[in-house]
Structures are given as structure tokens and as C-alpha cells.
A and B are shown apart, each in its own frame.
Chain A
Amino acid sequence: MHALLLFIAVFAASAVEMIEALTIVLAVGVTRGWRSALTGVAAAVVALAVVVGALGPALSELPIDGVRLVVGALLLIFGLQWLRKAILRSAGLKAMHDEEAIYRAEIADLEESRGVEAHDWYSFTVAFKGVFLEGLEVAFIVVTLGGSQHDVALAAIGAGAALIAVLAAGVVVYAPLSRVPENTLKFAVGVMLTTFGAFWGGEGAGVRWPGGDVALLGLLLFVALAALGLVRLATMRAPAGRSGVTAS
């Protein structure tokens, strides 16, 4: 019975962390391309293997709050910059595709000068941070819950099962996600990066969010409503002649 409870607890806790990482990777991959995002995932997995292999049970001594604070701060800043552009585009204060055009021109330039496909550091970094932080938290869960029940192997199996389930969910979700209009998707990615950044940054700063991980949903709703409210406000007050683009 204890073994079953341990398996369920590790499976559920790990799945929550993995869904957070999957959300970020899907968001970055769908909006900016998969090559660099998946390279970021692979690099994070290698870094995690090195950290977990080197530290083993001593992993629980790592200053996880410091990691959360730094990753959360960077993600929050990046998410807000991303959301700012999405709000301006939706309000008609910025052309819909100028970012995309600039980005593609830069990539084309780099590819031409180097003769190889250019690397998108943004996708790489965001995917790396998301997977590394969440992976570290999953390793924590396995070490602490498994260690307390003297069955780390079973805890690792629970985390492995969660990984398979979350990856399967990602495959199912990918197709409908790729049909969402581009600016809507970018808006949603900005909301999500901002939400995760604030959540992790807050945890790293010692905050206990009301309701624990459930607070993520409330924070997501809050950020989405604030951003939509700003689109509305900016659209109402947009200078004449600068608009002409509608929110999708």
C-alpha cells in the first residue's frame, strides 16, 4: 500500500512539474521553431544528468530557491517583453509581422554568412531553463519522497511513468495548437512565460502562493485579463491612422 501511495504521489507531483516544462517547450517550439527549442531540451537533459549523477542523494542540499529566483526573474522579464509586443500588435500599435520579418531576415543573414542553419538562442535558452528547472524539481521529488520511503527506485519509476504520460499528452496537444492563429499564439505564450516567471520567481523569493501549484491557474487568468484589458485600453486610445490591425 505504501509503495502504491509513493508511486501515485511521485507520479502526480512529477507530472505537474513536467506539464509546466512541456508548456514552455511547446510554446517556444510552435512560435519560433523546433530545432533550437529541442536543442535546448537536449542540453537541459544532459545538464540534469550531470548534476543528478554528480550529486546523487546530496541533490536535496542544492539551493533550489536560488535557481528558481534567477530562472523566474529572467523568464518574467522575457515574458513581459514578449507580452508587450503582443499587446501592441493586438492594439494596432505595431505591425503584425515586423518582428517575424526582422527575425527571419536575421536568421537568413546568419545562415548565408555561415552556410549552416542559424541557432535561435531565445528558443534554446527558454527551453533549456524551463526543462532544467522542472527537471531539477522532479529529481528533488524522487530523492526526497523516494528517500523518505527508502525506495528511490520506485519513485524513479513513478517519475518515468509521468514523463511518458506527459510526452503523450504533448503529442496529442501539438496538432490543434499548431492551427491557432499566430498572434493569438504569441499572445498566449507571453501570458504563459510571464505567469511561470512570476510563479517561480516568487517561490525563489520565499513566497508561499495561496493554494500552492493551483495558484498558477489564478495567476495565468490574472495576467491574461490584465493583458487583454491593456489591449482594450490601448485600442480605445490608439492615435488615429496608426491602427488597422485587429486582435486575432
Chain B
Amino acid sequence: MRALARFGRFWVDFVIGDDWMVAVIVVCALGVTLAATRLGWNAWPVLPLAIVLALGSTVARARRR
């Protein structure tokens, strides 16, 4: 049971980590990319831009703490 709880904590920590906004930005960016490609746009620039947004915002938040 303890191993299961530890495994669950690992996954929460793996996905959320120190800043849950990073996961939110990634999921939104992939959702936008998926929707755009389904509509016929080869939306490859979305993910590089999301990386800059996620990193920039998370570093800025860390600086303010």
C-alpha cells in the first residue's frame, strides 16, 4: 500500500513538479497544436513558442518568490 502511495506521489510530482503552470501550458499548447493540425494548419511553431512562454513565466515566478 505504501509503495502504491509512493508511486502515486511520484506521478503527481512528475507531472506537476515545482510549478503546475508548466504542465497547464504544455497541455494547452498540445491541444491547440492538435486542433490546428486537424483543421489543416501545420502548427509546428506553437510548441517552440509554448516552451519560451512556459520557461519565461516559470522563471519569472520563481524570481518573485
**Chain A residues near B43 (CB, 8 Å)?**
205, 207
| Interface of chain A residues 192 through 230 with chain B (CB within 8 A) | 194, 198, 201-202, 204-210, 215, 219, 222-223, 226-227, 230
Task: Count residues on chain B whose CB falls below 8 Å from chain A CBs.
Answer: 30
**Chain B residues near A207 (CB, 8 Å)?**
33, 37, 42-44, 47
**Chain B residues near A219 (CB, 8 Å)?**
48
Q: Which of A69, A73, A198, A204 has the most chain B CB atoms closer than 10 A to its own CB?
A: A198
The segment from A27-35, A78-86, A150-158 found at the interface with B is: A78-86
Q: Say whether A48 faces chain B, with CB atoms less than 8 Å apart.
A: no
**Chain B residues near A122 (CB, 8 Å)?**
10, 14
Q: How far is the CA of A209 from the CA of B33 in the complex (A)?
A: 12
**Chain B residues near A72 (CB, 8 Å)?**
30
Contact B18 A205 (CB under 8 A): no
| Interface of chain B residues 27 through 65 with chain A (CB within 8 A) | 27, 30, 33-34, 37-38, 42-44, 47-48, 51-52, 54-56, 58-59, 62-63
**Chain A interface mostly:** helix
Q: How far is the CA of A87 from the CA of B55 in the complex (A)?
A: 9
Interface Cβ pair total, 8 Å cutoff: 104
Contact A202 B14 (CB under 8 A): no
Q: Indicate whether A87 sits within 8 Å of B33 (C-beta atoms), given known contacts A121-B10, A122-B14.
A: no
Q: Say whether A125 faces chain B, with CB atoms less than 8 Å apart.
A: yes
Q: How far is the CB of B48 from chain A (nearest CB, A)?
A: 6
**Which residue on A lies nearest to B55, using beta carbons?**
A230
Q: How far is the CA of A234 from the CA of B57 in the complex (A)?
A: 12
Q: Give the residue of A73, A77, A125, A234 whose beta carbon is less than 8 angstroms from that of B59.
A: A234
Q: Give the residue of B7, B22, B30, B55 whose beta carbon is less than 8 angstroms from that of A205.
A: B30
Q: How far is the CA of A73 from the CA of B33 in the complex (A)?
A: 12
Q: Say whether A133 faces chain B, with CB atoms less than 8 Å apart.
A: no
Contact B51 A226 (CB under 8 A): yes
A to B CB contacts below 8 Å, 29 in the list = A73-B30, A76-B26, A77-B14, A77-B15, A77-B22, A78-B17, A80-B55, A80-B58, A81-B17, A84-B17, A84-B62, A88-B59, A93-B63, A94-B62, A121-B7, A121-B10, A121-B14, A125-B14, A198-B48, A198-B51, A201-B47, A202-B47, A205-B37, A206-B34, A207-B42, A210-B44, A226-B55, A230-B56, A234-B63
**A residues adjacent to B (C-beta < 8 A):** 69, 72-74, 76-78, 80-81, 83-85, 87-88, 91, 93-94, 121-122, 125, 194, 198, 201-202, 204-210, 215, 219, 222-223, 226-227, 230, 234, 237-239
